[in-house]
């Protein structure tokens, strides 16, 4: 509504700080005030429910020691770390990093023979939840880490935003594989340069 009414964009954190008085000052017409104030109320309500769910999940599920490494990756927090742990199982079942990346749906499933595309394999193979987790981590990393943001912007300039996000998620998935397999912590100098 703010973008449509005033032609400006608000950052997500600024939207979270909106209160009824500020909204009332911005929107003098009652119908616009009601629409924006209702949306803000719904966002607050859902935010509270999400915090409750996360609290219960953290009480019930404990991160195993071998999965503490991915928490050092940019954009991976407690919930995404738990998601990765629960969906991966045993990292030893992936012989190579490419197998893990494919399972996380971070690479395309095309078949190329003699330089020509001969169709796709089953592109629905792999784990939807891991794909989601790494894309979420990529979005958080782009927002909070300038090095990752630079990598994203370079890729987005060459292709588009969706492909660039997938490129970041692919990097994070590959790094996560090595971190879990070798039981090491994230080294930023090796990942985004």
Task: Name the token pair of 178.
Answer: 């090595």
pTM of the model: 0.78
Number of domains making up the chain: 2
Whether pLDDT at 115 is above 80: no
Q: Does one domain contain both 85 and 160?
A: yes
Tens digit of each residue's pLDDT (9 = 90 or more) over 127-176: 899 999 999 999 999 998 999 999 999 999 999 999 999 999 999 999 99
Tens digit of each residue's pLDDT (9 = 90 or more) over 30-64: 888 898 889 888 988 999 999 999 999 999 998 88
Q: Side-chain half-sphere of 170: how many Cα atoms within 13 Å?
A: 16
Q: Does one domain contain both 50 and 84?
A: no
**Domain extent for 23:** 2-60
Q: Does one domain contain both 14 and 105?
A: no
- Phi/psi-derived region of residue 119, left when phi > 0, alpha when psi is between -120 and 50, beta in every other case: left
CA dihedral for 152, 158, 163, 166, sign (positive or negative): negative
């Amino acid at each position: 509504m703010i973008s449509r009414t005033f032609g400006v964009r608000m950052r997500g954190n600024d939207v979270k700080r909106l209160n009824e008085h500020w909204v009332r000052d911005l929107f003098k017409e009652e119908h616009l005030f009601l629409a924006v104030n209702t949306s803000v109320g719904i966002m607050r309500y859902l935010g509270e429910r999400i915090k409750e769910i996360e609290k219960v999940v953290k009480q019930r599920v404990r991160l195993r020691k071998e999965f503490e490494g991915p928490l050092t990756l940019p954009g991976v927090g407690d919930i995404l770390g738990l998601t990765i742990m629960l969906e991966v199982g045993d990292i030893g079942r992936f012989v190579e990093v490419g197998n893990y990346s494919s399972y996380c749906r971070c690479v395309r499933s095309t078949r190329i023979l003699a330089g020509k595309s001969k169709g796709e394999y089953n592109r629905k193979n792999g784990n939807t939840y891991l794909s989601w987790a790494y894309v979420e981590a990529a979005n958080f990393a782009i927002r909070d880490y300038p090095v990752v943001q630079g990598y994203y912007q370079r890729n987005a300039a060459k292709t588009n935003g969706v492909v660039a996000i997938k490129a970041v998620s692919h990097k994070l998935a590959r790094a996560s594989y090595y971190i879990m397999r070798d039981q090491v912590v994230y080294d930023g100098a090796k990942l985004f340069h």
